[in-house]
Structure 1
């Protein structure tokens, strides 16, 4: 079997997996076990006594346990529950002298649905977020609201805004995959201690780096989870970070202003030896809105109706042309056109990062109207030049060996001087203490390693905004295609990919970005009901009294609560020919 785009090592595993699947008779529906439904339970005791009773959790210290009354948590009404906090495997690094541990919190509802949800967090982790269990896109509900016991962690280091933990080899590995390995059995034991039984069903989900955690867990720990939910999965995160730095150098060629200062990780303002391009001036908000409008003009009708929304993103890639569909400036930049140089940069960035020999460093990106969103600019400009994001992550976490100067490191100079020919290969390197490369500890194992997940009847749903500016939707399609190369027609029996047209990174953009992915996942895992469409809603003005729940980028021409069906790839939402264009029921997946 030919598996394009993967390594010889991956091909070997793929061949082994195909043989195993054939032997297992996976072509028949009866070959997959049907997992039973979780059985609810309750906790009627005193939450404050939980810590004292948890003495047998290996390598674990419970630091507090208390009752949290029903009320608003992370903008969502949440039931009464126990909050337990703790840490695992505390140690002092022999490399950088810092203290490390895996910090966590668990929220355990008094009325429990019998399920466990591992909340995989985003960014470079480093902080324990509220363990509520976000379930996809804009906030609509949570795993905790649904009765799950939910775990959140810092993935093994206590530095959310700086990447310097990457100097410690074990902290790298904990961040990449080992925190999940350590926390999963501990959490299940803790749940058993509280409710008198272990969880009947276990789920893991997250977005961004949390989506990467999900795909990694599916490949490494497929025997420990029944359902995996991966959003905007940065599963090639080191490659994406390199692409971000390459992008800075592209934007610098058309920037119209310069910066004379930069900030260190501590926030100290430093004067640069020479001014450097202010890449945020490469494409202004007005210019990006113009680009978005041209994409809509060209592609709006491709899904069967003119509704100021591009539903058929794949068809748009064939229809839209930067050269002919965007006006070329004949004079000064005024927001109504792009210069020839800007068009070149726009084309290059969407084609994907390459080294000087033309070899691909990361995936291409689809043209999408979501380029107008504020999140696009944040990721392409601010996050690609800041110490705490791509420059720092590349230098200290993904490069082997890592940088060591944590005092004077600056993001913009590093990005501008990054040599993709000599530095990008270091994400695949090992050296001395650093026995695993970034692409080893960060990326999921080859798709053939999903056989444990498949064989036990577990399921996985992946969703991704087509306007994501940092983790390419096209890259996730490549991953999905590599899974199909191994599992062929059986892929649809346990993995589904849902594109979200117009949505940026995890949420936002001109999109219907409010949806619940856990309900269809649970029904698929525990009832054998495979999901088809998932209805998503916009979060326009007036849909909530909580400002944080409003998406200001919903177009004014839409109904504020417009709905659309999210369709399993490769189908797209297509207008039925009649009906309210603001209702999902007027569209079908074709």
Structure 2
């Protein structure tokens, strides 16, 4: 029902789009797309799918299959493979709603982690909103990185190329089917999808008119340095020194120290940058107990907050994790346990072994936080989406909305801030960057969604469950990022704040404005602190 409500809530948006760009004569039938000839591309199937009947091909058994919601309209499903270079086998799909339901827009959707499969959940959401939509498997199958052993071009496929060539193919297919190009094209992704989004803005500025990039971890080599750093901090001699049962202690102390600084004591840090929490307040006065930290545990905690620095220059490699991220409730992640204290080895270790050093026996204990970072950046240049030069995207008229959870335990939110600041410097200052870019950092939100705080609606995760992303019961440009992005692109109305919600059992309990960085929300001191209308955006710096 909530998908149906979302569709009804967008009816004015869809009708408006149709009025802007009426269709020319109908182009091709769905079946005719199966014989379409495209450069370096094979169309393997083009079939009509009845409403509510699609089942992902990788579901293991009938009993485990999840039929996507009946509210999903009928669409034409085009499946193909692209071979831009000899080593490439890039699978992709394009979903085309019937002409009467199309909103005259294309939405590319991103992937998650290193997964090699089509993002069916985001495709479903996009088509349900009237978009023609496309997704890629990034050139491989499975979730580990060994697909690239002996095949360096497949790293390029995963890193940037697959999304670009899929977008090119999708536009040609769309134009053939409808007899008209899209009025606007958008890319929507979080996590690896956010990384893909920024690759598009940096490398292929004409592919999309608007880009929605969440929790990107776009400086991928440095993100993986951060995983090594955090793991090493809690395993200084090979043994875990900061057990998981100490994380709630640290979390409570951080919240107690800083919660009131934002004017509302609610267990959520609205502005962790203002939090100067020192874990030394938990230092044991005598023997270690469950209620205190040893000196080595204090130092490990400080390192996690600080993040890694170049061992020679002292330059920050990637930001540390924010206070409040130690323990997370709600969603797929639990906090530092996921990537720091819980694993038996550093997360993404295989990236270093197989992609950077080409040595399955490489010993992470030998990692040098100067030379090895430089080596990683050089050998993985096609993976990092770290360039701040978005001038071509700006010149294209493109608009970029980034968002990030303040308690993200995967990609630290400080990295998103660092990237925004880099772009600001390259394009020539605050007024220039604000012409085309916004960053929203969400209090208490985890990685893409979830967490004990708030969530923004409208983003796309590279997950299969179409209900795995938050939605607003009656979406509009104040509550839904995708609608806000479309309004910015099509009408020039820039989003200065987005309304985020805290939900319990799917019901909205509290709302707050998330202000465009560098502003933050402050309660007016009047009215309920659970209602967004009682906040204002103030300068953070």
Q: Which moved further from structure 2: 83-92 or 569-578?
A: 83-92
Distance 1:428 1:300, change over 3 A: closer
RMSD: 2.9
TM-score by length of 1: 0.75
For the pair 1:322 / 2:279, whether they are aligned, the reply is: yes
Give the counterpart of 1:175 among 136, 150, 158: 158
- CA deviation digits over 1:407-443, x for unaligned, max 9? xx6xxx84445444553332133xxxxxxx30x2022
- In the TM superposition, 1:427-506 aligns within 5 A as 427-429=376-378, 437-438=379-380, 440-444=381-385, 446-448=387-389, 450-487=390-427, 488=429, 489-506=431-448
Unaligned residue ranges in structure 1 (runs of 5+): 1-34, 94-99, 135-141, 255-275, 430-436, 545-559
Q: Is the 8 A contact 1:466 1:499 kept in 2?
A: yes
For the pair 1:203 / 2:183, whether they are aligned, the reply is: no
Alignment-derived partner of residue 434 in structure 1: none
Q: Is the 8 A contact 1:227 1:525 kept in 2?
A: yes
Whole-Å separation in 2 of the counterparts to 1:242 and 1:127: 26
For the pair 1:226 / 2:220, whether they are aligned, the reply is: no
Shift of 1:586: 2.0
Shift of 1:361: 5.9
Distance 1:423 1:444, change over 3 A: closer
Distance 1:190 1:238, change over 3 A: same
TM-score by length of 2: 0.81
Q: Which moved further from structure 2: 286-295 or 470-479?
A: 286-295
Q: Secondary structure of 2:326's partner?
A: helix
Q: Secondary structure of 1:447's partner?
A: coil
Alignment-derived partner of residue 104 in structure 1: 92
For the pair 1:522 / 2:478, whether they are aligned, the reply is: no
Whole-Å separation in 1 of the counterparts to 2:243 and 2:25: 55
Whole-Å separation in 2 of the counterparts to 1:65 and 1:383: 43
- CA deviation digits over 1:294-345, x for unaligned, max 9? 22212222222222221122222x3x22223x353632341x2221111100
Whole-Å separation in 2 of the counterparts to 1:153 and 1:522: 23
Distance 1:444 1:162, change over 3 A: closer
Give the counterpart of 1:309 among 251, 255, 268: 268
Shift of 1:178: 1.6
Give the counterpart of 2:105 among 108, 115, 130: 115
Give the counterpart of 2:325 among 367, 370, 385: 370
Alignment-derived partner of residue 339 in structure 1: 294
Alignment-derived partner of residue 126 in structure 1: 116
Whole-Å separation in 2 of the counterparts to 1:348 and 1:418: 16
Alignment-derived partner of residue 78 in structure 1: 72
Q: Is the 8 A contact 2:111 2:189 kept in 1?
A: yes
Alignment-derived partner of residue 156 in structure 1: 139
Shift of 1:231: 0.5
Distance 1:376 1:249, change over 3 A: closer
Whole-Å separation in 2 of the counterparts to 1:338 and 1:43: 71
Q: Secondary structure of 1:362's partner?
A: coil
Q: Is the 8 A contact 1:239 1:361 kept in 2?
A: no
- CA deviation digits over 1:164-202, x for unaligned, max 9? 415312111111222233222211001011111111111
Give the counterpart of 1:513 among 432, 455, 476: 455
Whole-Å separation in 1 of the counterparts to 2:484 and 2:338: 32
Whole-Å separation in 1 of the counterparts to 2:224 and 2:425: 27
Whole-Å separation in 1 of the counterparts to 2:436 and 2:18: 16
Unaligned residue ranges in structure 2 (runs of 5+): 1-16, 53-65, 329-333, 459-480
Shift of 1:131: 6.0
- CA deviation digits over 1:84-113, x for unaligned, max 9? 2111118764xxxxxx40111122122110
Q: Is the 8 A contact 1:464 1:498 kept in 2?
A: yes
Distance 1:73 1:82, change over 3 A: farther
Whole-Å separation in 1 of the counterparts to 2:315 and 2:71: 46
For the pair 1:89 / 2:83, whether they are aligned, the reply is: yes
